[in-house]
Amino acid sequence: MRLQSEQSLLLIVDVQAQLAPHIQGGKEVIANCAALLRAARLLKVPVRVTEHCAARIGNSVAEIAALTHPDEVLSKTHFCCTDEPGAVGLLETLGRKQVVIAGMEAHVCAMQAALGLADHGYQCFFVHNATGSRHASDHAAAIERLRMNHVQIVTTEMVMFEWLTRADVPQFRELLTIVKSI
């Protein structure tokens, strides 16, 4: 199945100040999350950003916060955002069936978000190079488990070009600029 911008929602999970420095390839993960956010804005894909226990872990890193509106942030204490009271209802109001998931840590909150959303009937797309963990083995295990649970594993560029669908539209050049910025 392919992604469609009209059916998609971008979910950025817990790319937070106290966590990000400890993630393997954290700078690449942040850059890819920011690129996905810019592409979502360009192609009118709604965005939600989670922050887990922000008082202790900090808010979203500057690169993510700069691209996020305050009303798009979901504060949470549950590892799985769908366990947070009212979270599923908020997502349902957007009327999207596909959720693109990026963020930290791949094997904890990001993976649990994908599994929880899949349990609620969403088609989930987990962005391999826009997710990360402190240990590479945890990231690899999350990818393997998600595949076994029928979550689509994609890359940042896969998402952006599937959302765009064609090269003869005005957004193509701007999307190329986003791709080249990664």
Task: Find the length of the chain.
Answer: 182
Q: What is the CATH number of the domain that holds 28?
A: 3.40.50.850
Cα–Cα distance for residue pair 156/132, rounded to 1 Å: 13
**Three-class secondary structure of residue 133 per DSSP:** coil
The H or E element containing residue 130 is strand 123-132
Cα–Cα distance for residue pair 108/7, rounded to 1 Å: 26
Cα–Cα distance for residue pair 8/96, rounded to 1 Å: 6
Domain count of the fold of the chain: 1
Residue 111 sits in which domain range?
5-180
In this prediction, residue 161 carries a pLDDT of 98
| pLDDT band at 167; cut points 50, 70, 90 | very high
pLDDT tens-digit series, residues 23-73: 999 999 999 999 999 999 999 999 999 999 999 999 999 999 999 999 999
Residues forming beta bridges with residue 50, ordered by sequence position:
13, 74
Strands laid side by side in the 8-13 sheet: 73-76, 47-52, 8-13, 98-104, 123-132, 152-154
In this prediction, residue 22 carries a pLDDT of 98
Cα–Cα distance for residue pair 104/96, rounded to 1 Å: 23
Percent of the chain with pLDDT over 90: 99
In this prediction, residue 29 carries a pLDDT of 99
Q: What is the mean pLDDT of residues 85-104?
A: 96
pLDDT tens-digit series, residues 97-115: 999 999 999 999 999 999 9
Q: What value does the mean pLDDT of the chain take?
A: 97
Rounding to the nearest 10 degrees, give the CA dihedral for residues 91, 93, 95, 100: -20
Helices of type H across 43-110: 54-57, 62-65, 87-92
Percent of the chain with pLDDT over 70: 100
Q: What is the mean pLDDT of residues 123-131?
A: 99
